[in-house]
Amino acid sequence: MSAPVIARTRAELAVARTKLDGSIGVVMTMGALHEGHDVLIRAARARAEHVLVTIFVNPLQFGPNEDFDRYPRTFEADVARCESLGVDVVFAPSVDEMYPGGAPQVRVNPGVRGEILEGASRPGFFHGVLTVVMKLLQLTRPDFTFFGEKDYQQLALVRQMASDLEVPVEVVGVPTDRDPDGLARSSRNRYLSPAGREAALALSRSLRAGADAAAAGGGPEATLAAATEAFTGTADAAAEPVELDYLVLTAPNLGDAPRTGPARLIVAAWIGRDTAAGVPGTRLIDNGPVSLA
Ligand code: PAF
């Protein structure tokens, strides 16, 4: 594979973009690429003639006490990974390039479904995400854009934004890639100690237990109870603190859970958080489909 063109500025991106003849798929990332991103990039390659990957750690979506400064930055390795996957262009702007006038005054409002779950725990998070996604869509003008189901609420809101604001792009959701033991792949997994990595299985185990309970004929209450029990069992046995933020059953569109039919279990937790010592934990999220009989 040949090396991707690296565009650092919008002018370089525009030049690289005009040289791409045919359909374009964009995969937006904050770098620290891993196997989960490979799956997104491969999905883009299968669908579009050219693949453009954006790498930008977006300050707008980090709260004051979050991990913006320590978020992993692995640019050389990311580019090598993109090359091995046949990516055509990597757009990696600086913060000044993306926000030349400073933090933007006009931001995309994610609406009510942006205020729940991640939006409730991380105020302003989805305003920051949708604003940068909108800017990156305007700059790259793709035919398709690929988002992982792991960030389920983000995917739902990007779809909603594209539909509500007539953004001419097809938003493609890609199933979550997991380690063999079930842990969803995430750039933040690299923060975990071996004990934290084990403790983090509380998330995927709870989803599996909930899906199994639903498949066995349990209704919404039994499904959520089974998921909660599996979470607590793993968390209690863990050598690192595990703090549940939320574990909820919703409709696939994040509305109220139905009594029957497709639904979604969604979970978020901090691993290794030690509030007494003031050490922030690693925040992980996960989700999975359930089918209520
Ligand atoms: O999912 C992410 O990595 C980020 O939220 C995204 C979509 C690249 C926007 O910064």
CATH number for 146: 3.40.50.620
Provide the pLDDT for residue 203: 98
**What is the best residue among 132, 134, 287 to mutate for testing ligand 1's pocket, by most ligand atoms within 8 Å of CB?**
132
For 201-221, the DSSP string reads HHHHHHHHHHHHHHHTT--HH
- pLDDT tens, residue by residue, 36-62: 999 999 999 999 999 999 999 999 999
181 in a structural domain: no
For residue 235, report the distance from its CA to the centre of ligand 1, in Å: 28
Could you tell me if 161 and 118 lie in one domain?
yes
Which residues neighbour 144 within 8 Å (Cβ) at sequence distance 6 or greater? 23, 24, 25, 26, 44, 47, 48, 169, 170, 171, 172
Instruction: Identify the domain boundary among 139, 174, 209.
Output: 174
Closest to 188 measured CA to CA, from 70, 79, 22: 70
Distances (CA, A) of 159 to 51, 133, 147, 233, 262: 20, 11, 10, 35, 19
50 in a structural domain: yes
Could you tell me if 15 and 124 lie in one domain?
yes
Could you tell me if 113 and 155 lie in one domain?
yes
Which residues neighbour 14 within 8 Å (Cβ) at sequence distance 6 or greater? none
* 54 phi, psi to nearest 5 deg: -105, 140
87 in a structural domain: yes
183 in a structural domain: no
Could you tell me if 27 and 95 lie in one domain?
yes
Instruction: Identify the domain boundary among 113, 148, 174.
Output: 174
Strand 261-271 to strand 24-29: parallel, antiparallel, or no bridges (unpaired)? unpaired
Model-wide pTM > 0.75: yes
Half-sphere exposure of 289 (CA within 13 A, CB side): 8
Instruction: Identify the domain boundary among 119, 150, 174.
Output: 174
Could you tell me if 201 and 240 lie in one domain?
yes
**What is the best residue among 154, 157, 158, 283 to mutate for testing ligand 1's pocket, by most ligand atoms within 8 Å of CB?**
154
Could you tell me if 239 and 94 lie in one domain?
no
Could you tell me if 193 and 168 lie in one domain?
no
Could you tell me if 105 and 152 lie in one domain?
yes
Question: In the block, which residue shows the tokens 């990974």?
Answer: 81
Please list the rounded mean pLDDT of every run of 10 residues in the chain (293 residues).
95 98 98 97 98 98 91 96 98 98 97 97 97 98 98 98 98 97 95 95 98 97 98 96 96 96 98 68 96 95
Q: What is the DSSP code (8-state) at residue 124?
A: T
Could you tell me if 139 and 263 lie in one domain?
no
Ligand 1 atom nearest the C-alpha of 151 is: 1
Question: What CATH number does the domain containing 231 carry?
Answer: 3.30.1300.10
Instruction: Tell me if residue 127 is catalytic.
Output: no
State which residues form the domain around 116: 5-174
Total of domains in the chain: 2
64 in a structural domain: yes
Could you tell me if 164 and 204 lie in one domain?
no
- Measuring from atom 3 of ligand 1, which residue has the nearest CA? 29
236/230 Cα distance (integer angstroms): 10
Could you tell me if 211 and 267 lie in one domain?
yes
Could you tell me if 157 and 221 lie in one domain?
no
Structure tokens at 156: 């739902």
60 in a structural domain: yes
Provide residues with CB under 6 Å of ligand 1: 28-30, 58, 61, 129, 132-133, 151, 154
182 in a structural domain: no
- pLDDT tens, residue by residue, 208-241: 999 999 999 999 999 999 999 999 999 999 999 9
117 in a structural domain: yes
Structure tokens at 179: 């380690």
